[in-house]
Structure 1
Amino acid sequence: MQQVLVTGGTGFVASHCILQLLQQGYAVKTSIRTPDKKNKVLEMLRTGGISDFQHIQFIIADLTADQYWLDAAAGCEYVLHVASPIYLRVPKDPEEMIRPAVDGTLRVLKAARDAGVKRVVMTSNFGAVGYSHRDPATLITEKDYTDPDEKGLSAYNKSKVMSEKAAWQFIREQGHGLEFCTVNPMGIFGPSLGPDLSSGFELLRNIINGEMKAIPNMDLGIVDVRDVADLHIRAMTSPKANGERFLALAGGTMSLLEIAGFIKKHLPAIGAKISTKSLADWKVKLAALLGNQKAKAVAPLLGVNRRASNEKAISVLGWTPRSNETAILASVESLIKYGAV
C-alpha cells in the first residue's frame, strides 16, 4: 500500500484529496497544526463516507517550523503539498505572508527529498499564472507567469507566485532527482465536507443574503473542489506530469452577475434577496480608497483577464472536470446544509 503525505489536512482541498486517496486504496499521512484538529479531519471524512480510519495517520507539524517535517515525509511515496500558512488578517507588510509561504514550501520539499519521496505535487493557484497577462484575445496557459511585482497584486497571490518560483528553483538546484509538478486552480467551489467554509463560500453567501446590493463587474474561472483533488492525484501518478504545471478550471468564465442570476433562477427558495444590479468599477475603487475593506478586497480583481485553457490537464492527464454550474450548486447546497444562508 503506497503512502501519501497531504499537508494541511483540515483544508477545503486537502480534505477532498485525503478522501479520494483513501477511497482509492492509499495510506495517508496528513499534517495538522494542533492535536485538536484530528477530530475535525475524521468528521469530514465520515461526511465523505469513510468509516475505516486504520490507513490514516496524523502528524503535528507547522509550516513555520522545521520540526517533524522529515518524520511526516518518512515512508511516503508521494507528497501533496496543499497547505498554506493561515492569517486571520491581511498583514500591512506583504513579507509577513510571503516569507512563511516560501519557507514552508521549501521545508516540505527538503523533507520530501531527504525522505526519498518520489514526487511532490504542489497546490499553487491562478494568481501565480495569469495576473500579468495583457492580451484578452489570447488564452492564458501554463506557460504564463504572474510578475510578483505586478501593481495591485494581493499579498496572498504574491506569496503563491513566489512560493512556486522558489519551489522550481529548489528542484533545479537541490532536488537531486525529486519529481515535482504544480496544480494551479482558479476559483474553487463545490461541496464542503465540514462547517468551516472557505472564502468562495463567503462570496456566495454575501450574494444570497443580499449583502451585495449591487454586483461588481468581475469574471471568475471556476473549478469544483472534487476535480481539484482528482487532478492532484492524476498529477501525482502520471509519468507525463513530472516537471509540469496544470491549470485547473472547468472551462470558460462566469461573471458574478451570471452567478447571481443562476442561483436566483435555479434555487428560487433562497433567491429572493439576490440583487441583479451591476456595480460600476469606479464605485468599487472609490469605496476602496475610502477604506471599505470588502471593496479593498474586490478592487484588485476588477478587469483581470481570466480567459484560460484547461486543455493541458484534459489532454495529458485525461481529466474531466464538472461544469461551472455544478460546482456553484454544490457550494450553495453546502451553505444551506451548514446553516450559512
Structure 2
Amino acid sequence: MTTNSNSDKIVLVTGGAGYIAVHCILQLLQAGYQVRTTLRSLNRQTEVRAMLKEGGCEPGEQLTFVQADLSADAQWNQAVSDCTYVLHVASPTPILHYKHEDEMIIPAREGVLRVLRASRDAGVKRVVLTSAIGAIVYGHPPQTAPYEETTWTNVTGKAPAYQKSKTLAEKAAWEFIKQEGDGLELSAVNPVTVLGPVLGPDYSHSIHLIKNLLIGQLPGCPKINSGFVDVRDVADLHLRAMTHPAAKSERFIATAGESVWLIEIAKILKTHLGQYAGKVKARELPNALLRIAALKDPMVKAMVPLLGRMMNATSAKAIRLLDWSPRSTQEAVLATAESLIRLQLLD
C-alpha cells in the first residue's frame, strides 16, 4: 500500500477518542489517507493527538476533527462530505444502571442509521461498521462448534441489553443497505474481547479485565470463556474490509484464535510479567460465589449467564478472504499489560 495513492482519499472515523477508533486512525494515517474524525466535544482533540503520538504518529494537518453526536442529525452531512470511506466505530458504551434496555438499543440503532443516511447522500463508496461478537453468540443453546458469521444473536432469548443493542443496530444497517442504500456498500467487523496496547488513560471496558487482575481487584477468575483479539489486528481488519472487493456485503469475526477461560489469561500474566503480576490470582472462583455477588453488583450480574459457557468463534473467513493474520491471544494480553505498566495506569 503506497502512501501516494491514498493521499487524495478522505476517510471518516466516527468516535475518534475511542480505543478501537484511535488505532484505526493510526493505521489510516500510516497508510497515507487523509483522516477526518468525529468527536462529541472538540475539547478532546488534544487527547486524541496525544494518543496518536504515543502510537508513534504526529499527523499534523493529515487529521481533522468535526463535532458530531450520534444522537443528533447536525453536522453529519459535513462530517461525511468528500469522504471515500467511513469507518463507523463509535457506539454507545454499556450502561450498568439502565432502567430500560431501550436506553442502549435506540441510540445504537439510530446512530448507525444517521451515519449510513449521510454516507449514502454524500456518495461514500463503503462504510465499515464496528459491530461485535455480541451480535452473534447470545441466546442460543450451548454449542461446541465455533460460532461463525452466519449466526445472529437471538434477541428474543436471554441476550443482555448491550449485546441486543449491537445486534439490532447491525441488523438495521444491513436492512438499510438493502432497502435504501442506493449503491452504498457495507461491511461489518465483529470483534471478540479486544485487548492490546493502550495509548492513553481512556480505554475500553475490556481492558479493565487485565487491569483488575494486575491490581489484585479480582479474588480469582470467574469460569468465563471468551475469544480475545489485539486492537491492532481489529484496526487492520477494518482497513482490509474498507478496500477489499471481497469484503462488500460481508461480516467478519475478529478473533486471535480459540477461545480461552479467564484463568488462562491470569496464568499468562503470572508466567510472563514477574513482579508486575504479584497480585494476580490465578485460581478459578466457584460459580455459586458469583451468583451471590451478582445480587449486589450489576457488573457481576451481567457475567452470570456466561458462567461455564463455551464462546468459541472462528476468524477463518477473514483469514481466507482478506488475508488477515492476527497476533496470538498471548501477545494481545501481554501488550495490554505492558502498556498499562508503561503508562502508569495501574494506580
Specify the TM-score bucket, using the shorter chain as the normaliser.
over 0.9
**Which residue of 1 is the match for residue 99 of structure 2?**
92
Name the aligned partner's letter for residue 342 of structure 2.
Answer: K
- Cα distance in 2 for partners of 1:86, 1:221 equals 20
Bigger drift between 120-129 and 194-203 goes to 194-203
Residues 133 and 140, structure 1, Cα contact 8 Å, conserved in 2: no
Cα shift at 1:189: 0.2
Question: Equivalent residue of 1:120, what SS?
Answer: strand
2:336 is equivalent to residue 331 of structure 1? yes
Determine helix, strand or coil for the equivalent of 1:57.
Answer: strand
C-alpha distance in 1, partners of 2:187/2:320? 16
Structure 2: segments with no counterpart, 5+ residues: 1-7
Which position in structure 1 is the counterpart of 2:217? Answer: 211
**Quick one: which amino acid aligns to residue 308 of structure 1?**
A
Within 5 Å, give how 1:66-145 maps onto structure 2.
66-86=73-93, 89-145=96-152
CA contact (8 A) 2:81 2:122 kept: yes
Displacement after TM superposition at 1:89 (Å): 4.4
In structure 2, give the amino acid aligned to 1:26.
Answer: Y
CA distance in 1 between counterparts of 2:327 and 2:199 reads 18
Alignment partner for residue 175 of structure 2, among 155, 169, 172? Answer: 169
1:149 Cα offset (Å):
2.1
Give percent identity, aligned residues only: 47
Q: In the TM superposition, what whole-angstrom CA distance separates every residue of 1:165-197 from its partner, at most 9, and x where no partner exists?
A: 110110110101110010000000000111213
Question: How far 1:304 moved relative to its partner?
Answer: 3.4
Could you say if the C-alpha distance between residues 304 and 92 of structure 1 is closer, same or farther in structure 2, counting changes exceeding 3 Å? farther
What is the CA–CA distance in structure 2 between the aligned matches of 1:337 and 1:18, rounded to whole Å?
A: 22
Counterpart residue number, 1:155 = 161
C-alpha displacement of 1:132: 3.1
1:174-253 superposed matches below 5 A: 174-253=180-259
Give, as a single letter, the amino acid of the residue that structure 2 aligns with 1:105: V
RMSD of aligned Cα (Å): 1.3
**What are the ranges of 5 or more consecutive residues in structure 1 without an aligned counterpart?**
none
> Which of 103-112 and 47-56 deviates more?
47-56
1:312 to 298, 317, 339: 317
Q: Which moved more, 1:275-284 or 1:69-78?
A: 275-284
Give, in whole Å, the separation in 1 of the partners of 2:299 and 2:177: 38
Aligned partner of 2:292 in structure 1 is 286
2:301 to 273, 296, 300: 296
1:135 CA displacement = 4.9
* 1:340 alignment partner, one of 336, 339, 345: 345
Q: 2 CA distance for matches of 1:56 and 1:145?
A: 36
Query: 2:3 corresponds to which residue?
Result: none
CA contact (8 A) 1:19 1:48 kept: yes
Change over 3 Å in CA distance of 1:24–1:325 after alignment to 2: same
Residues 87, 200 of structure 1: CA spacing in aligned structure 2 closer, same or farther, 3 A cutoff? Answer: closer
Indicate how the Cα distance of structure 1 residues 304 and 164 shifts in structure 2: closer, same or farther if over 3 A, else same. farther
Q: TM-score, normalised by structure 2?
A: 0.95
- Deviations for 1:289-309, whole angstroms, at most 9, x for unmatched residues? x22233213213323331111
CA separation in 1, counterparts of 2:227 and 2:93?
23
- For residue 107 of structure 1, report the CA deviation from its aligned partner: 0.1
Contact conserved, 2:97 with 2:298, CA < 8 A, in 1?
no
CA distance in 2, matches of 1:213, 1:52: 43
**SS of alignment partner, residue 42 of structure 2:** coil
3-state SS, counterpart of residue 140 of structure 1: coil
- State whether residues 210 and 275 of structure 1, in contact with CA within 8 Å, keep that contact through their aligned partners in structure 2: yes
Q: 3-state DSSP class of the match of 1:278?
A: coil
Check whether the contact 1:130–1:305 (CA below 8 A) recurs between aligned residues.
Answer: no
> What is the deviation of 1:277?
2.1
Instruction: Report the Cα offset of residue 47 of structure 1.
Output: 1.2
Match 2:49 to one of 23, 38, 42? 42
Q: Which amino acid aligns with 1:203?
A: L
1:15 partnered with 2:13: no
Task: Return the TM-score normalized by structure 1.
Answer: 0.96
In the alignment, residue 303 of structure 2 is paired with which amino acid?
A: V
Cα distance 1:9–1:24, how it changes in 2: closer, same or farther (>3 A)? same
Residue 87 of structure 1: how far off its partner (Å): 6.0
Count of aligned residue pairs for this structure pair: 339
Assess if the C-alpha contact under 8 Å between 1:64 and 1:103 holds in 2.
yes
Deviations 1:316-335 (A, max 9, x none): 00000000000000000121
Runs of 4+ aligned residues of structure 1 deviating over 3 Å after TM superposition are: 86-90
Cα distance in 2 between the residues matched to 1:65 and 1:224 = 32
Question: What amino acid maps onto 1:20 in structure 2?
Answer: Q
Return the letter of the residue paired with 2:210: L
